Structure formats: structure tokens, C-alpha cells
Amino acid sequence: MKEIQNQLANKGLTENYLSSINSPWNIPWQEFEVILGIKNSYSQRNLNFQTIAQAEVFLKNCGFDLSNQLHVKQFEQFFGESIFFIRHVLFTEQEREKLVLPSQIIHINNPCELLINASSFDPRKRYLRLWCCSILKVMYAISNLQYSGRLHIIDDAREQIFKRIKNILQPSHHTSHSEPIVCQFKNAVIHLNKVEWKEAKTRTSIVLKLLHKPDSIVDEVFDYLGVRFVVQNSNEIPLLLKLLIESDIIIPHQVVSIRTRNSLLNIRNPKKIISFLKDLNSCGTLTDHEFETMCKNMSWSSQANDENNKRSNTFSSQHYRSLQFTVRHLVRTPNPAYLVLESMTNQLRRYTGILRQEPWMESVIPQYFAHYFPIEIQMMDQESYEMAKFGPASHEQYKASQLKAVRERVLSNLLTFSSEKLTTQDI
């Protein structure tokens, strides 16, 4: 570099060369790579904030005006929660003792300092920079969660959607089934071995899921709510799926197709075979009983599904076999402002003695808000269920893989700091 500058100086071009630092062509390559989808935001090794003023403007444009104490308080809440999450969810007990929180972070006075420290190139502040970067990554996930409108309506969504599903579940009087539940709609009846409900994901679980998403953290979480149906044999799943469609629990045009995972059903061959059997039945070659028996014993197994494999969750075990998809239901939640206005109107009626309804209220303030809320529906046979519970496809194995990936993504080189390296750092 010095040789180049000396050569340029001899030509009287030093000033022009150095000005290239401030040239319009000084491209922020990291930001380009994130925006163009080449890398995700967690691959950034550092930020590019040099002054407090620059950091303040950035935070304001992100929605945090530091002149507003409510915004500062919210930022501090995310900051504290992020540190707790890193230390008590991502760190092991040994790492908590070894990787101490830098004093500059403990005594931080201005949120902008977090961005400035995350932009530092000082070798003696590398440990501090890595800590700040990790905290900011978790804060971003928490803010995505906090400002998601779904959290505010999850109770109403759970009550309304689960009620629709429970309306088609009836007690079973069949003595051969240990689980006294059947799924029934009109004349269709499917015996269920088990029904499991996911009533809500924990806050920690949602943050982990946001942090592990392979494409982008801003992807939405779809499985706040869920239900799993377990039948005895896999050839009962098509009939259960048909029942749920006919009862409008599954509305085809409300299915989020990109979320569908299918490692149980292959409908190509059954579709051809059933069509052929119908022709044989219609011409009298097969009796109705023979037709039903052959359909019942047909294999629907799907050992490999190329289209499904393209969209599979990278953290799901290859042994995990199920049919699962996300379907949206319209949920209506009361408008708090309308309830207040209605209460005030009722008080006014008592004083005036006028008992008429006020049609103008609904036109001024809507009585309900309407939202589409997703629910994940899973179907499994008993063998697949036992594998998912106790085998290599268990939820514990999935969570362990997820946590490992999140640690690598969020903590990165912070975990490589040895006691010897720490002695070279300003902490």
C-alpha cells in the first residue's frame, strides 16, 4: 500500500487516490450480499457505524427514536432479554463462566454504543465486537416477535379454531380402541389413537425458531398453534384427510402450500388404481365389497418425494414421517375501542331513557377485527408417531440440532475464545 501511495505521490496523485475512500464506488459489499440473497444477515462480520449521530439516525429509521423514552425503554428491554437468552439458552454452564460479559456492555449508557462497538476494527476489542454482534442478532429476532400482530390475537385464535376442530371429535364406544376419540362428520367416521394439541409456542421456542430459519429471520412463524392426529395405519390417513376437507377444517385455497411436508402419502399410483377399480366396479367385474376391500388394502406409502425433499426442514430427521401442512382460518377479535364506546353509549341510554340501537357506532369504529391465523395440522400412523416420540426422529433430537445451528449462527467466533485469547482483549 505504501509503495502504491509513493508512486502516486511522485505523480502528484496521492490526494486523488486517497479520496477513493469517500468515492460513490466505495460499495458496502456485505449489505449488497444480504439484499441480493447471497448471504443472510447473520453472515455479516461487523457493522459500519462510526459516529453516535450515524447510529442514532439508523435506530430512528428502524423505529427507535432515542428522544422518546418509551422507545428507549423498549430497546433496553430487548437488550436485557437478549443477554439473558444468550447466557441461559445458548451458552452451556461452562461457557457462562468462561465467556464473561464485557464491562463496556454492562455499563452501557447509550444504545448507540452497541452499534459503534459492533463496528469496531480494533483487535483488542474483537471480543467486545463479537458480543455486541451476538446481542444485536438476538434483539432483532425478539423485536420481530414482539411486533408480530399474531401474538396479540393468539388467545382468540386458539379458542375459535380449536372449537371448530373439537366439533368433529366425538367419544368412541369402540372397545378395541384405547383412545376414546373418533373423528366424525356426517356418515364418515375415523377412529383415532391420539389427538395432541399445541396450544402455544413458548417465547424462547419462537425466538429459537426465528434465529434458525435458513433463508431469513423475517420469515413468519406459522406453527403458533397445532394439532396432531394419530391413526393406527397409514392407509387411514387419506380418509382422515378427506373428512377434514369435507368438514372445512382444511380449506384447500387457505393451505400455505410452501409449508406442506409429505413423507407418508404418494397419491399418483392410488389415483390411477382407484380410477381403474371404479371402472371394474361400474361394469360389474368387481362387487362393492371387493372394491371397498381392495381400496382399503391399497398402499399409499411415500418413501421418497422429490418435490417434498426440496422444501424439507433442514433440521428435521430423515426418519420423521408425517403429513403436515399449514392452513389459515379467519379469526374475529373484539375491538377494544368499540367495547369502550359501547359502554359509554349504554351509560348515555340510562340517562336519556332512549333504548334504541345506534347503527352509527359500527360505521365509526368496527366491532371486530378480522385476521387470518395459521394452524399446523399433522397426521401420522402409530408406527411413525412412536418413531417421532422415541426414535431418531424425536422432538428432542430436532431441538438439539436446532440449538446447535443457532449457536453457530449467533455466537460464531465468540465460542472460539480461549482463556489465553481473552488476556489480549479489553474487557
Q: What is the pLDDT along the chain (427 residues), one digit of tens a residue?
A: 445 445 544 544 444 444 555 678 878 787 788 778 777 777 666 788 889 999 999 999 989 999 999 999 999 999 999 999 999 999 999 999 999 999 999 999 899 999 999 998 888 999 999 999 999 999 999 998 888 878 888 899 999 999 999 999 987 665 455 556 899 999 899 999 999 998 888 889 889 988 887 555 555 678 889 999 999 988 899 999 999 999 999 999 999 988 899 988 888 888 888 889 988 988 988 888 888 888 888 888 765 454 454 445 555 555 678 899 999 999 999 888 888 887 877 777 777 666 566 666 666 778 888 999 999 999 999 988 988 887 665 677 888 888 998 999 899 889 888 877 888 887 7
Find, among 52, 208, 44, 65, the residue nearest to 142 by Cα: 208
Q: What is the pTM of this model?
A: 0.77
Give the Å distances, CA to CA, from 75 to 119, 128, 142, 285, 370.
19, 19, 10, 74, 30
Are 44 and 58 within 8 A, CB to CB? Answer: no
What DSSP assignment string belongs to 187-250?
TEEEEESEEEEE----HHHHHHHHHH-SS-TTSPP--SSEEEEEESSGGGHHHHHHHHHHTTSS
Residues with Cβ within 8 Å of residue 139, at least 6 apart in sequence:
78, 79, 81, 82
Q: What are the grid coordinates assigned to 351, written together?
A: 340517562
SS3 262: strand
Q: What are the grid coordinates assigned to 183, written together?
A: 373423528
